[in-house]
Structure 1
Amino acid sequence: MFRWTNFPLVSFCICLLSVLGSAFANEHGSNSITVFTIEGNDAILPCSLTTNIVQKLFDWKKDGQTEVFMYDAGVDYNNGRAGQDVQFKGRVSHFPEQLRFGNASIVVRNTKVTDSGNYTCDFPRLQPRETFHIKLLVNHTLKDRSEDMSVPASKPNIRIFDVTKNGVVLQCEVHSASPHVTLQWQDADGQILRAEEPQNSDRQGHHNIILQTTVTSTNTNCFRCILKQEDINHMTDVNITVSDKLFEDKCGQSVIWFSGWIVGVLTLAALLAMLKGVMYITNQRRKRNQQNPGLAESSGTPLKMCV
């Protein structure tokens, strides 16, 4: 259970957060505040009324459904109450000495990135009902990498690799990256694009990766390649804009190709018909010659005119 070790300092922090929360609420018309922290640190989520809440009930939830902490007239998740989500079990406490002053704030210890989200502090039995909204943002820990040979990879190289009848082929590549790198193509709306199987090569722990995708004319011509190195929490991306003319040229090439195919088929058909006609005439002459041998002999002698 949380113990009050530095009353003046913590009280000052709580009061400051409460004032900021009230100012934010007045500006936006709802009880809301954003709390920032670094992964591994403790985070205080402020919530308070102006009346004694020792005999009241308040319930903290994350994203509208995950049970974070519940207090009901002296009974809470740290002294026998069941129902707390396993994600927060043993990591959340409140300020018992401050309940008589209306303080329903909680402390989330040893925060994780997955703790980030939208929290509510709800007093369901009050008339009218009171609900406070707090957004928690937990950033990754900044690590000392002075002895780590791993370095964030630079931005990937992207280019238009080819224009085919199927679309415009985009290529994204990164060289000599360490640790392992993954590449991903997305459109302007953040939708992941289907890509070819990445080409990977590894030399002494340094990775070379090439990833290609084929795009067609859609409602956007802006695309981006995202590079991720999850081992060191690194991500970067590069954008590319494909000219509408390339999509038009691709369509034109398809029409030309189809037209050429049609012309080729018609030409071949004409040649076959001509060949068939020649063979037919030759066969007919051969049959006549076989039926009238004398005609074949005399056909070569010119006729003399009678005087």
Structure 2
Amino acid sequence: MRHCQISPAMELLLGVFLCLLIFTGKASGNKADPHKIQVKEDVSVTLPCLFSTAVTDKIIDWKKDEKEVLLYDLNKLSHQAEEFKDRVSLFPNELKSGNASMQIKETKVLDSGNYTCIYLNNGEYLAAASHQVELTVEYILKDRTRQKRKGAFAKPSVIIINETAEGTLLSCKVLSASPRPTVVWYDSAGRSLPVEKKENPETEGHYNIFLNTIVTITGRYTCVATQKELHHQINETTFVRVQGSVRGLIHGDGVGVGVLIVIAIAAIV
């Protein structure tokens, strides 16, 4: 078998080529490795952008996915994108220290994306001074009844059906909800209560749900409806003053709560 011999000139060329590959890989890697931040929606978040010199005499330009978010022109705000109006700002007193970080208030899931901070000097972008941030905003469970989304949001309605010496009958109803919600009764300590449940499915995947329970302890009781598919959760609370005294069940925390289950759906249907 014959072995190929590489000349010194060829070795030099291969060495230069490998160095270029390594250098190019590092350069592209730095560019494609933004600072990653992950937050829940509705909170405030600060996207970092720090320079080694003061930027009070420069134009600070923040973009999201190449679209304008905020333009800070010579120490004053000159432009805000409509979807970020009154929600984004810099820290003016920090610009002299090279801090051009941007704060986003009341974050939304739609705020997720790739942000770039860059400053302009004499009208020219200074690419070497750019900073990239990848922001991810996650959904939380909250009341979304005012939002326009596909589906029908659950809206619990709580009423007191009857009050006797044995306890108070509470009812929670959720009408025409889609997708099917999870509905739970809780006492003031956050414990779920046994219930009598009736469910009437409507056409086109809408649901009517009725949840009854009897409580024997004076306090606040809350009905919570949750639709995880819509990231929607809503509750309604009522205060109950129970007449008389009934021997209750003893929970592990030493709090006595008596719950009697009755079938009283006919009273509210």
TM range (shorter): 0.3 to 0.5
Q: What TM-score results when the alignment is normalised by the length of structure 1?
A: 0.38
Q: What TM-score results when the alignment is normalised by the length of structure 2?
A: 0.43
Larger Rg: 1
More strand by share: 2
> Relative CO higher for 1 or 2, CA cutoff 8 Å, sep ≥ 6?
2
